[in-house]
Amino acid sequence: MQDLNTLLLVTHVHMRLGPNGLQIDDQTAAGLRQWCRHFDRVSFYGILTQGPSTSAWVDTNEGILGQKLRLFGLPQGYGPAAMLRALPAVRRQFRSAIPQHSHLCFTLGTVLGDWPFVAALEAIRQKRRYSAWIDRVEPPIIRSRAAGSPLKRLAAELWLPPAQGLIRHALRQSAVALLQGGDTFEYYARSAPDPHCTYDIHTHADEQIDAASLAAKQARILSGAPLEIIYPGRATAMKGPFEWLETLQALHRADVPFRATWIGDGPDLPALLDKAKQLGLGGMVTFPGFEGRRNVLLDRLKAADLLLFCHKTPESARCLIEALVCGCPIVGYDSAYPRGLVAQHGGGRFTPQGDPKALAQAVLSLHRDRAALSALVGAAAQSGRLYTEDAVYAHRAELMQRA
């Protein structure tokens, strides 16, 4: 029997077993609190994981989560053998759960080890409406990860066409598609009967930069002080960390005074530190590592003059929205996602993909025209007011309730 307004949400999110039951990371918990506000009951399926993690884990047995949320941990299935072993039991779970919920939402990924895709197939078999949620464009990310291995590249090229065909099949059968950011929307919208561009953010109205802090930042910029440049994210190939350094090197050669900070850990961080020293940027660039304190990260963004990014793949990076909320312009490689974020009020400058020299030239022009940079800061803050957790989750909940 279906309850009046219940949600079955099947995802790739990791969860773990804690002392009080299953735990999820703090940002997923924030999202689930929102879903619990919009639905009478939420059943959330994720991937049960073990081992060390930098996530801030949260119990779910108290408050609104304890009242309305049920968590279910699925086995890891990222490999043909692992998926085939677990598939019969997982399908039985979905076969039983789907009729018990009035609304269904599945976060589609890459098919292999993709339990949301399996849930979508079961919903199709039961002739149920569902919403399909896609966070990012997977093929370029998979190709980027396989770039260093000819065998992995070959496997990716053999696997991606049929896998993407199956994902598009699930999209075509959906009632509503929630496509995160402009890049994802551009890539998948043609395959969905009712596509919508959505966003995922966990900032609140009281976290937006205040008028006094905004004015102080603009005054400092107009004074000609060294540029404060920031990037918060993992040091991985898809983030373009070495092109980020190339851009800074070009600025240094052009005698632009700046201080730059990359906040985050990741597999490329040691090599990034070495490269910064080789380029003579050791005194101008700092790498403080992972920062788990949200208030500290937002304060750093509020203090920065611009977020410099060199994303190599089409992704809907949350840090770009957080920067706008903090009155920090986003300056980096062009794609539909950042363009869409600032389409209404401005607050960004974008240059062609893979061209650090062009990106450095854009920053140089802002350095030379401090009035333009000050105006860009104001526009960024105005764009940031569009993005609050309450607003974006209300929008997505309304879309889910159509299915």
Closest CA to 252 of 223, 282, 230: 282
What does the block give as tokens for 113?
Answer: 């080890």
Domains (ranges, CATH) in the chain?
6-201+389-400 (3.40.50.2000), 205-384 (3.40.50.2000)
Whole-number pLDDT of residue 113: 86
Whole-number pLDDT of residue 146: 85
Quick one: how far is CA 276 from the chain centroid? Answer: 26
Helix (H) or strand (E) holding 181, with range, is: helix 181-188
Whole-number pLDDT of residue 299: 97
Whole-number pLDDT of residue 282: 87
Report the distance separating Cα 66 and Cα 199, nearest Å.
Answer: 26
Whole-number pLDDT of residue 177: 98
Tell me the residue length of the chain.
Answer: 403
Phi (first) and psi of residue 340, to 5 degrees: -65, -35
Quick one: how far is CA 190 from the chain centroid? Answer: 22
Report the distance separating Cα 398 and Cα 272, nearest Å.
Answer: 43
Closest CA to 262 of 240, 241, 290, 232: 232
Whole-number pLDDT of residue 54: 65
Whole-number pLDDT of residue 156: 86
Question: How far is residue 362 from each of residues 248, 256, 337, 366, measured CA to CA in Å?
Answer: 12, 12, 19, 7
- Cα dihedral 291/70/204/339 (nearest 10): 80
Report the distance separating Cα 27 and Cα 21, nearest Å.
Answer: 18
Contact between 176 and 201 under an 8 Å Cβ cutoff? The reply is no
Whole-number pLDDT of residue 78: 82
Whole-number pLDDT of residue 1: 45
pLDDT per residue rounded down to tens, the chain (403 residues): 455 899 999 999 999 999 999 999 999 999 999 999 999 999 999 999 987 676 789 999 999 999 999 999 999 988 888 999 999 999 999 999 999 999 999 999 988 889 999 999 999 999 999 999 999 998 888 888 888 889 988 988 988 999 999 999 999 999 999 999 999 999 999 999 999 999 989 999 999 999 999 999 999 999 999 999 999 999 999 999 999 999 999 999 999 999 999 999 999 999 999 999 999 998 899 999 999 889 999 999 999 999 999 999 888 899 999 999 999 999 999 999 999 999 999 999 999 999 999 999 999 999 999 999 999 999 999 999 999 999 999 999 999 999 9
CA 256, 262, 267, 273 dihedral sign is positive
The three-class DSSP label of residue 82 is helix
